[in-house]
A and B are shown apart, each in its own frame.
Chain A
Amino acid sequence: MGRPVAIIGVGQTKHGRRMDVSYPDLVREAVMAVFNETGLTPDDIDGVVSGTMPSMMEGIALTHFYFADAMQAAGKPIMKTETCGSTGVSIAHTAYYWVASGMADLVLAVGHEKMNEGNSQATMTTVAEPFYQRYFISGAPGVFSMQSQMWMDRYAIPEEKIRDAAAFISVTHHDSAFDNPYAHIKMRVTMDEVKNARIITYPVRLLDVCPNSDGACAVIFASKDMVKKLGRKPAWIRGVGYRGEEYFFGDSDKVVWESAIQAAKQAYDQAGIKNPRKELDVAEVYNPFTFQEMLFYECFGFCEPGESPDLVLKGTFSRKGELPCDPSGGTLCTNPIGATGLIRVAEAALQVTGKAGDHQVPKAKLALSHAMGGVDQFNGIMILGSKL
C-alpha cells in the first residue's frame, strides 16, 4: 500500500424524487454538506473527482463541465471517472490513488444521479452490444434475473427457500431505511407482500428491486498528515480491489463470479483479512436486487457457495446478526446510480467512525463497501477501518 489515506467527511443529499431542485443544485447540496460537516472550504481542496452514469442517463455529456461550479471545482485539478454501475466506488478509488500517490493531500470525490429526469432502463439497454445482445438484455432486471436463475439451478436451492430469503432481505432492508435519514424508499413491507408483489422478470418481483432515485454524495479523502492536522476522526482505507470481466453475457460464469471474488480477495489481502465474516463488522453490499445480494455474500466469502439463503433466514446478515449487511437500507431502498457506490463507501466510513446514527452497528471497526456495474461485469471493493 502507498501513503495512508483516510476519509474525513461525507455529505449526502436527501435521496428520493427530488423535483424541488435542479440537477446542479442536487450536486451542490451534497458538496456543501461535506464542507459544512468538516468545516473545510473549497479553497482547501487539492483536486476533485467527478463521476456519473453514461451521458444518455444524464441528458448531458461530460458532466464535469456542467457541474464544475456545483462541485466547487472551478480552478481545480479534475478527474472524471466512469465505470457504469460501479462508478461510485471507482470515484472513491481514484480519490484514494490520488492521495496515496502523494500528488494531493485533500481530494473531494463527488458522485451524483438524477434518475427521475432520465430513463434508466432505456439507458442500460444501450450498454448492451447493439447487434446481438441488445434485443434480449434490455435494462438491468433481465441480466440479473438470468444470473439468479443460474445460481438457483447450480446449487439446486429450493425455490421456496430462495423466495423466503429474498423476501426476508427486502423486509429487513426496508425496515432499516427508516433509520437512515437520507434513504429514499421508506415503506414497511411484509414477507407476504414481497413474495406476492408484481413480477418484473421472473423470479424478480417489484419489492426485490431498487428504486430510481435522485441523489448525490460527496466524500473528502485526506493524507495522514492532513488527518493529524485537522484532528478529525478518520476512516482509514485498508483495502482497494477491483476487477472486470468479459462483455458478452454468457462468456463467463456469473455464479462463481470471478470479478466479485477476485476484487474482494485483492482488498482482503491488502487489509490482511482472512475470515471476512468474522473480521468484518459491517458490510455495505451493492444490492439493487435481493437475489444478487445473496450471491455477493458467497462471492465475498461471507459464507459457502449455495449457503446464503439459509444464513439469511437465520439472521446472520441482519442488523443484530454476525455480519450486518446494508444497515442503511442499501441500494435496494436508494439508488441514484452514479452516487450509489460512493454512498456505500460513505456509509462504511460513517460506521467505522461511529457516526451512522440510528443505523449504527455497535462498535463497528472494520467495514466493507462495494459496487457492481457493466453487463454483470465489474466489481469494486473498498475496505475501511477505524485503525490504520
Chain B
Amino acid sequence: MAKQVAIVAVAQNAGAESKDNFYDQAYAVTKEVLDKAGLTRDEIGTVVSASSDVFHGGISCANSYYWETTGAFLKNASRQDGESLFALFYGAMRIMSGHYDTALIIGLCKGSENPPNDTCTLMYADPFYQRGVGLTETMAAAFQMRLYMERYGITEEQCAKVAVKNLGNGLRNPYAHKKGRYTVDDILRSERLIDPLTALQVAPKSEGMVALILASAKKAKEIAAKPVWIKGFGSSLDSYYLGDRDLLNGQLKNAADRAYKMAGITDPEKKIDVAEITEPYAFQELMWYEGLGFCGEGEGGRLIDSGFTEMNGQIPVNPSGGVLANNPYVSRGLQRVVEAVLQIRGEAGERQVSKTVKMALAHGTHGYAGQCHAVAILGR
C-alpha cells in the first residue's frame, strides 16, 4: 500500500489498576493524543473506538457511555467490538475513502473493574452445549497447547521461555502490568491452572486506554515530523466450533498473508524488524511465529531457543512484554500498534530494540484458540 494513511500520534496508559474511573482514564488518553498531534478536538474528522459490552465493560452499548469523553460529540463516529485492531482498520478505511483527513482511534478497557478474563470468555461459548461444560478461552488454549506439543514435539520448557522473555522485557516498560525476572523453572512451577498451562504463562487482566491519531498523506505531511505509515492490514475469522477447526492451522496465516500482500512483503522473516504480537498464552507466541512466517511449521520452539526473537535477535518479538505483561483484553491489539509505532520512531525508551526499525508488525487475536486474527504492517 502506498503512503495513504499515517499514524501521527500515540498514547496509552499504564496497565496496573488505577483509581481513576473509566471515564477519566479515557479522557486523559484522548487529551494526551490530541496534544501530541497538536490538534484540537474540532480538527478531528472522525472517531472510531473499540470496546466490548457488559462483560468487558460493565455496561451495555458501552460506546453510549464514553461517547463524549473520547471526543466524539457531534462527530461521525463508530465503534468496533472485540478486537481493537478493527478500529485501526476502520479508521484507515474512512480516510482512504476520501471522506476524512484525520481520525482518532481509541481502544477502551478497564480490566480492574471487569470480572476475571474467563468469566467473560465463557460468554463466547454457545449457551446450549459448551457453556455448560465450562469452555473458556483458557481451556481452549490448553487443548491447543497439548495438541501443539504432541504434534511437533514442542516442550513445556520452550513454551515457558516465552514467559521468561516477555515478563523480563516488561521490566523495561513503564506501562507493563505484570513483569519480573523469572527462570523457566519458576514459570513451570507456578500454579497449574488448566493442564498444561501454568499461571505465569497466562496473561493478566489490565487497564488499557490506547489512542492514536491517523492522518491522510496530505495532512500527515502538514502536521507530523515522524509519520508512521500503515503499509498493510488484514484479518481472518475461523469457524466457531473447536471440533470443526484445525487448531494448529488457523487463520493467522490468512490474516498475515493479506497484510503482507498489501505491504508488498514476500519474505517477512527478512523484512520485519520488530513484532508486537498478542500472546495471551505463552505457547501461542511460538505458534504465531509460524503463522506469521518467521519460521516453518512446528519450528516455533527452535526459533525461541535460537534467540531469534529476543531483544537483540533478528526479529525481537514483544519488546514491550507483550500481552503476558499487559492485557487490556479489548484494547491489547491497538496497544501492539502503539508499541510498534514507538519502535519505528525510536521512542520506546528502555525497551527500544538496538537494531534500526524500518518495518514493524502488530498482531491481535481474540476468541477460542485464536478464532480471529488481525495483522497490521507499519513502516517509515
Say whether B120 faces chain A, with CB atoms less than 8 Å apart. yes
A247 vs B23: C-alpha distance when bound (angstroms): 12
A129 vs B251: C-alpha distance when bound (angstroms): 38
Interface centre among A126, A244, A377 (most CB of B within 10 A): A244
B3: min CB distance to chain A, Å = 14
Given the complex, which residues of A lie within 8 Å of B235, measured CB to CB?
A: 77-79
| Minimum CB distance partner of B251 in chain A | A75
Say whether B83 faces chain A, with CB atoms less than 8 Å apart. yes
A78 touching B76 in the complex, CB below 8 Å, given contacts A64-B82, A375-B64: no
Say whether A90 faces chain B, with CB atoms less than 8 Å apart. yes
Say whether B243 faces chain A, with CB atoms less than 8 Å apart. no
Say whether B86 faces chain A, with CB atoms less than 8 Å apart. yes
The answer to whether A244 touches B74, judged by C-beta atoms less than 8 angstroms apart, is yes
Say whether A315 faces chain B, with CB atoms less than 8 Å apart. no
A244 touching B73 in the complex, CB below 8 Å, given contacts A81-B78, A84-B63: yes
| Minimum CB distance partner of A59 in chain B | B127
Given the complex, which residues of A lie within 8 Å of B73, measured CB to CB?
A: 244-246
A373 vs B62: C-alpha distance when bound (angstroms): 12
Say whether A98 faces chain B, with CB atoms less than 8 Å apart. yes
The answer to whether A258 touches B74, judged by C-beta atoms less than 8 angstroms apart, is yes
Say whether A227 faces chain B, with CB atoms less than 8 Å apart. no
A65: min CB distance to chain B, Å = 5
CB within 8 A of B372: which of A65, A243, A246, A377? A65
Say whether A76 faces chain B, with CB atoms less than 8 Å apart. yes
A59 vs B237: C-alpha distance when bound (angstroms): 21
CB within 8 A of A55: which of B53, B96, B125? B53
Which residues of A100-118 have CB atoms within 8 Å of chain B's CB atoms?
Answer: 100-103
Say whether A83 faces chain B, with CB atoms less than 8 Å apart. yes
The answer to whether B124 touches A69, judged by C-beta atoms less than 8 angstroms apart, is no
CB within 8 A of B240: which of A65, A101, A242, A247? A65
How many residue pairs between the two chains, A and B, have CB atoms under 8 Å in the bound complex? 203
A73 touching B67 in the complex, CB below 8 Å, given contacts A3-B97, A60-B124, A61-B123: no
| Minimum CB distance partner of B92 in chain A | A101
A65 touching B371 in the complex, CB below 8 Å, given contacts A81-B81, A97-B90: yes
The answer to whether B54 touches A374, judged by C-beta atoms less than 8 angstroms apart, is no
Say whether A54 faces chain B, with CB atoms less than 8 Å apart. yes
A69 touching B240 in the complex, CB below 8 Å, given contacts A54-B54, A64-B372, A94-B78: yes
Say whether B234 faces chain A, with CB atoms less than 8 Å apart. yes
Count of interface residues, chain B, beta-carbon cutoff 8 Å: 62
Say whether A82 faces chain B, with CB atoms less than 8 Å apart. yes
A30 vs B96: C-alpha distance when bound (angstroms): 30
Given the complex, which residues of B lie within 8 Å of A374, measured CB to CB?
A: 61, 63-64, 67
The answer to whether A123 touches B367, judged by C-beta atoms less than 8 angstroms apart, is no
Given the complex, which residues of A lie within 8 Å of B254, measured CB to CB?
A: 75
The answer to whether A65 touches B124, judged by C-beta atoms less than 8 angstroms apart, is yes
Given the complex, which residues of A lie within 8 Å of B281, measured CB to CB?
A: none
In the complex, per-residue mask of B179-194: 1 if CB is within 8 Å of any chain A CB, else 0 = 0000000000000000
Interface centre among B73, B74, B78 (most CB of A within 10 A): B78
The answer to whether B96 touches A124, judged by C-beta atoms less than 8 angstroms apart, is no
The secondary-structure label for the interface of chain B is: mixed
| Minimum CB distance partner of A73 in chain B | B237
| Minimum CB distance partner of B98 in chain A | A2
| Minimum CB distance partner of A5 in chain B | B97
In the complex, per-residue mask of B50-70: 1 if CB is within 8 Å of any chain A CB, else 0 = 001111101111111111100
Given the complex, which residues of B lie within 8 Å of A94, measured CB to CB?
A: 78, 90
A102 vs B94: C-alpha distance when bound (angstroms): 11
A81 vs B17: C-alpha distance when bound (angstroms): 28
Say whether A1 faces chain B, with CB atoms less than 8 Å apart. yes
The answer to whether A245 touches B126, judged by C-beta atoms less than 8 angstroms apart, is no
| Minimum CB distance partner of B63 in chain A | A83
Interface centre among A80, A123, A262 (most CB of B within 10 A): A80
CB within 8 A of B79: which of A48, A82, A96? A82
Say whether A205 faces chain B, with CB atoms less than 8 Å apart. no
Count of interface residues, chain A, beta-carbon cutoff 8 Å: 66
In the complex, per-residue mask of B317-357: 1 if CB is within 8 Å of any chain A CB, else 0 = 00000000000000000000000000000000000000000
The answer to whether A101 touches B80, judged by C-beta atoms less than 8 angstroms apart, is no
Given the complex, which residues of B lie within 8 Å of A82, measured CB to CB?
A: 53, 61, 63, 79-81
A81 vs B49: C-alpha distance when bound (angstroms): 10
A264: min CB distance to chain B, Å = 12
Given the complex, which residues of A lie within 8 Å of B366, measured CB to CB?
A: 62
In the complex, per-residue mask of A1-29: 1 if CB is within 8 Å of any chain B CB, else 0 = 11100000000000000000000000000
The answer to whether A130 touches B59, judged by C-beta atoms less than 8 angstroms apart, is yes
CB within 8 A of A66: which of B56, B93, B124, B251? B124
In the complex, per-residue mask of A253-279: 1 if CB is within 8 Å of any chain B CB, else 0 = 000001100110010000000000000
The answer to whether A61 touches B124, judged by C-beta atoms less than 8 angstroms apart, is yes
Given the complex, which residues of B lie within 8 Å of A3, measured CB to CB?
A: 97
B306: min CB distance to chain A, Å = 32
A78 touching B236 in the complex, CB below 8 Å, given contacts A61-B124, A62-B81, A83-B79: yes
A373 vs B60: C-alpha distance when bound (angstroms): 12
CB within 8 A of A76: which of B68, B78, B83, B236? B236
Given the complex, which residues of B lie within 8 Å of A127, measured CB to CB?
A: 59-61, 64
The answer to whether B82 touches A54, judged by C-beta atoms less than 8 angstroms apart, is no
B53: min CB distance to chain A, Å = 4
Say whether B219 faces chain A, with CB atoms less than 8 Å apart. no
A residues touching B (Cβ–Cβ < 8 Å)? 1-3, 48, 51, 53-57, 59-62, 64-69, 73-84, 90, 93-94, 96-98, 100-103, 123-124, 126-127, 129-130, 240-247, 258-259, 262-263, 266, 373-375, 377-378
A–B Cβ pairs within 8 angstroms, 10 of them = A55-B53, A64-B82, A90-B79, A100-B96, A242-B77, A244-B74, A247-B68, A373-B64, A374-B67, A377-B64
Top 5 A-B residue pairs of the complex, sorted by shortest distance between their CB atoms:
A2-B97, A101-B96, A84-B61, A100-B97, A54-B60
Beyond A60-B124, A103-B96: 20 further Cβ-contacts under 8 Å? A54-B62, A61-B55, A62-B123, A68-B371, A74-B238, A75-B238, A76-B236, A77-B235, A79-B90, A80-B80, A80-B81, A80-B86, A81-B78, A81-B81, A82-B81, A84-B63, A130-B59, A242-B77, A242-B78, A247-B68
